Structure 1
Amino acid sequence: MREEVLKIYDEVVSKNPNFERKGKTMPYTSANGHMFSLLNKAGELGIRLSKEDTAEFDTAYGAQSFHSYGATMRGYVLIPEALLENQKELGNYLQKGYDYVMSLPPK
């Protein structure tokens, strides 16, 4: 399952010129010194969103908290399987995550 999600993640990230996937064992994206998406060991994908985008996501998909290495990742939503099947929409949420971290002070 993790390999399938990684393949989808890589495909979606590769279509966006604003960012690239990093990490070998823990795939992630970051910008402005902030991580905004992450694939955990369980093969679950999480995206960091603004409060407004999280509310929108919750309406559309039911926002569930994302966990990695036993910790709840605050500000991240768990990407459901239905969204993994819609790469265009997944790409839109990755872009929203990128836009959000670009609005934060750089680290």
Structure 2
Amino acid sequence: MWEKKLKRYEDLVSRCPRFEKKGKTVPYTSANGYMFSILNKDGELGIRFSKEVQKKYIKEWGSTLFKSHGAVMHGYVLVPEKMLNNLDTLAAFLDEAYDYVITLEPK
């Protein structure tokens, strides 16, 4: 099951040529010193957005804040399972998250 979700995440990231997947045991994407997506050990996908956009997507998607290793990751929205099969749509959200983090002061 984990391998299937990892493959899907890799396929998702491969649709976005401006960045690449990082991490061997905990796959993620980052730019400007900030992570903006992560696949947790349960195979759940979290994407980082601004506070305003985060609230919007939590409501639209019927979702919650993302959790990893039992901790809430503020700024990240849990992508609902029902959305994980539409990689083209998810790629647009991932690109949006990338666009957001590159506006932040570099770390």
TM range (shorter): over 0.9
8 Å CA contact 1:21, 1:27 repeated in 2: yes
| Number of matched pairs | 107
Q: Which residues of 2 match residues 70-89 of structure 1 at below 5 A?
A: 70-89=70-89
- Which residue number corresponds to residue 37 of structure 1? 37
> Structure 1: which 4+ aligned runs deviate by more than 4 Å?
none
Amino acid at match of 1:62: G
How does the TM-score come out when normalised to structure 1?
0.93
In the TM superposition, residue 70 of structure 1 has moved relative to its aligned partner by 1.8
Which stretch of structure 1 is more off in the superposition, 81-90 or 28-37? 81-90
Q: Which residues of 2 match residues 8-23 of structure 1 at below 5 A?
A: 8-23=8-23
- Which residue number corresponds to residue 98 of structure 2? 98
Which stretch of structure 1 is more off in the superposition, 47-56 or 96-105? 47-56
Partner deviation per Cα, 1:64-103 (whole Å, 9 max, x = no partner): 1111112110000111111101111110111111011101
In structure 2, distance between residues paired with 1:27 and 1:45: 10
In structure 2, distance between residues paired with 1:31 and 1:52: 20
Which stretch of structure 1 is more off in the superposition, 10-19 or 49-58? 49-58
Structure 2 gap segments, 5+ residues each: none
In structure 2, distance between residues paired with 1:55 and 1:9: 23
RMSD over aligned CA atoms reads: 1.2
In the TM superposition, residue 63 of structure 1 has moved relative to its aligned partner by 2.9
In the TM superposition, residue 58 of structure 1 has moved relative to its aligned partner by 2.4
The answer on 1:66 being equivalent to 2:66 is: yes
Amino acid at match of 1:101: V
- Which residue number corresponds to residue 4 of structure 2? 4
- Which residue number corresponds to residue 52 of structure 1? 52
Cα gap change, 1:58 to 1:70, in 2 (>3 Å): closer
In structure 1, distance between residues paired with 2:31 and 2:78: 20
Structure 1 gap segments, 5+ residues each: none
